Amino acid sequence: MEILQRIWNNLKIKYYWFIRGIFITIKWFPIIWNDRQWDNVFFYKILKKKLILIEEAFRSSKACSVNSKREADNIKKCIYILDRLIENNYIDNVYKFHNKKWGTPEFNCEEIPDMKGYFKLNITHLNVTTSKEKKQEIKEHKNLMMHENYLIKQDLEYLFDTIKKYVQNWWD
């Protein structure tokens, strides 16, 4: 009789985890279905989903950690940074004043005469009228590109430093 009881309990546990696995699969399905291997944004989306699920667990009434609110807040910071990395609108913030000063850039392509199928991208600004201004605009543009990369790097460092610091506290 004891053996039957153990088998029955084992089956109940397997059934529970099977049903739970179905619900977990449903939660993850949209993320996995849309996953691709060619861009870091997909990695950020997977990481964000995992952190959202962990944060929800810490904020739920079932959380049994004394520091669950603090841990959930740390996770929320990571989610916020991931949102910025996914949106990737650093360029809008960086170029806002540049475009105000030099005018909104206009793009056009022209085919390179000696290279069939290859094109040259020309970027012009309404307020750039002299070659001196063109050199200054290009110099500022390069500095802004470096600043944009700096901001992204800064967010990545903060994100992964936070994860490195707290990830061991996010599980039992």
**How does pLDDT run across 87-117, given as a tens digit for each residue?**
998 988 888 899 999 998 899 999 888 888 8
Q: What is the pLDDT of residue 23?
A: 93
Q: What is the pLDDT of residue 67?
A: 78
User: Which alpha helices (H) appear in 34-130, and where do they start and end?
Assistant: 40-59, 68-87, 90-102
User: What pLDDT digit, counting tens, does each position of 118-164 carry?
Assistant: 999 888 888 988 999 999 999 999 999 999 999 999 999 999 999 99
HSE, side-chain direction, 13 A CA sphere, residue 45: 17
Whether pLDDT at 39 is above 60:
yes
Q: What is the pLDDT of residue 66?
A: 73
Question: Please, what's the b/e burial string for 5-17 (b: 16 or more CB within 10 A of its CB; e: otherwise)?
Answer: eeeeeeeeeeeee
Look at phi and psi of residue 117 and say left if phi exceeds 0, alpha if psi is from -120 to 50, else beta.
left
Q: What is the pLDDT of residue 65?
A: 67
Sequence-ordered list of residues with C-beta below 8 angstroms from that of 16, at least 6 positions apart, any chain: none
Q: Mean of the per-residue pLDDT values for the chain?
A: 90
Q: What is the pLDDT of residue 63?
A: 63
* pLDDT tier for residue 38 given thresholds of 50, 70 and 90: confident
Q: What is the pLDDT of residue 50?
A: 95
Cα end-to-end distance, the chain, whole Å: 35
Whether pLDDT at 31 is above 70:
yes
Strand segments, DSSP code E, in the chain are: 106-111, 119-124
Higher pLDDT, 80 or 116: 80
Q: What is the pLDDT of residue 64?
A: 65
